[in-house]
Amino acid sequence: MKAIVYTKYGSPDVLQFKEVVKPTPKDNEVLIKIHATTVNRSDCGVRSATPFIVRFFSGLFRPKKTILGSELAGEVEAVGKDVRSFQKGNQVFGLTGDNFGAHAEYICLPEEAPITLKPDNMNFEEAAAVCDGAMLAFTAIRKMNLQKGQKILIYGASGSIGTAGVQLAKYFGAEITAVCNTKNLELVKSLGADEVIDYTKDDFTKIDKTYDIVFDAVGKSSFFRCKNLIKKNGVFVSTDLGFMAQNPLLELWTKKIGSRKVMLPIPKERKEDVVFFKELIETGNYKAVIDRRYSLEQIVEAARYVEKGQKTGNVVITIEPDVSFRVHGKT
């Protein structure tokens, strides 16, 4: 099968388009033919080993797992003899967990992995562009215990996590102020934001308002910059791995001192959450936001674009069954 392989940390140029052995499902696994996946900031962070702490999980000197890609949509091609909840021909979507592996034509995943049947009202590309951002945003929302009527400011509201966060906060009844750039103001409004701030024109940290929750969905701000925006007994939440690595004691410290708290949610991929996302999608309460689409052989270009930090929503990789075996467009 075709796959994108990397054997050392570095820039997008370390990604190689290769032929690798097609996996065979174990008794408790399903073999999925992947039709679409994504390139997200987790892929880029692990590939470049940034921040350095990533190496303690992915391999100190070289990557343990050589195929990236954490979310997918595709079709079950075969099932192990012990699998009961899936059958050949099922269209599925979800996450691969810590093993990554979705930047390939096929993958084997355990039956209990965070995957479920694909929503009927989404195509494969749309379904692939849901779970990573939604899972990270939902983990944060669960951690912050978001309540109906609370005021939340979402910084980075037009990214993968941000667009998910706006939609989930709307579903749970929050009053949402979203911060994004000029081109995405209308998009973010359409997702459910009650008020939008254009960060290219206004410094959101200096507005004369306070919020129950400030949610940094892009990892480009800090608790100390946003402190004046947070109400007494309010919280600052960040999904940025670098912020968590640099501030491992900040959450504990703010629980003991002061009236404003920091929360650093640790992502946990759960099947029941993917099932919940499916329900939201099928009831019209959630939609995928896709910025650009690339083929599998264009993965280097896709990764370079994601690393600019200016994508709107998600960058999708389509995997065609007849994709030609080329590297960077060369035969």
Model confidence band, residue 239 (pLDDT cutoffs 50, 70, 90): confident
pLDDT tens readout for residues 86-115: 999 999 999 998 889 999 999 999 999 999
For the chain, the structural domain boundaries read: 2-130+288-318, 133-263
Q: 3-state DSSP call for residue 319?
A: coil
Task: Report whether pLDDT(230) > 80.
Answer: yes
What is the per-residue pLDDT for 323?
Answer: 40
Q: In the chain, what percentage of residues exceed pLDDT 70?
A: 91
Give the per-residue pLDDT at 330.
Answer: 35
Cα(176)–Cα(202) distance, integer angstroms: 17
Helix (H, G, I), strand (E, B) or coil at 163: helix
Mean pLDDT over residues 177-205, rounded? 97
Can you list the positions of beta strands (E) in the chain?
2-5, 16-19, 29-39, 71-79, 91-95, 106-110, 115-117, 151-155, 175-180, 195-198, 211-216, 230-238, 261-263, 290-295, 314-318
**Is the pLDDT score of 256 beyond 80?**
no
- 87-102 residues labelled b (16+ CB within 10 A) or e (exposed): eeebbbbbbbeebbbb
pLDDT at 22: 98
| pLDDT at residue 325 in the model | 40
Structure tokens at 257: 């001192």
pLDDT greater than 80 at residue 224? yes
Average of per-residue pLDDT across 282-288: 98
Task: Fold for 2-130+288-318, please state it.
Answer: Quinone Oxidoreductase; Chain A, domain 1 (3.90.180)
- Predicted model pTM: 0.91
Instruction: Please name which of 54, 16, 18, 32 lies closest in space to residue 102, comparing C-alpha atoms.
Output: 32
How many CA atoms lie within 13 Å of 280's alpha carbon, on the beta-carbon side?
A: 23
Phi-psi category of 245—alpha, beta or left, where left has phi over 0 and alpha has psi -120 to 50?
A: alpha
What CATH number labels 133-263?
Answer: 3.40.50.720
pLDDT band at 241 (very low <50, low <70, confident <90, very high): low
pLDDT class for 251, splitting at 50, 70, 90? low
Cα 138 to Cα 284: distance, rounded to the nearest angstrom: 17
**For residue 306, which of 141, 129, 73 has the smallest C-alpha distance?**
129
5: β partners: 16
29 pLDDT more than 80: yes
- 288-322 tens-digit pLDDT: 999 999 999 999 999 999 999 999 999 999 998 64
* pLDDT at site 53: 80
Q: Among all chains, which residue has been given the structure tokens 């994601």?
A: 306
Q: What is the mean pLDDT of the chain?
A: 92
Please report the pLDDT score of residue 327 as a whole number. 40
Rounded Cα–Cα distance for residues 62 and 77 (Å) = 32
Query: How high is the pLDDT of residue 222?
Result: 85
pLDDT band at 221 (very low <50, low <70, confident <90, very high): confident
In 3D space, the residue among 203, 151, 157, 152 whose CA is nearest the CA of residue 179 turns out to be 157
pLDDT at 244 over 60: no
pLDDT, mean of residues 173-180: 98
Q: Which of 246, 152, 240 is nearest to 204 (CA)?
A: 152
pLDDT digits (tens, 9 = 90+) for 262-275: 888 888 899 999 99
Contacts of 55 (CB under 8 A, 6+ apart): 9, 49, 61
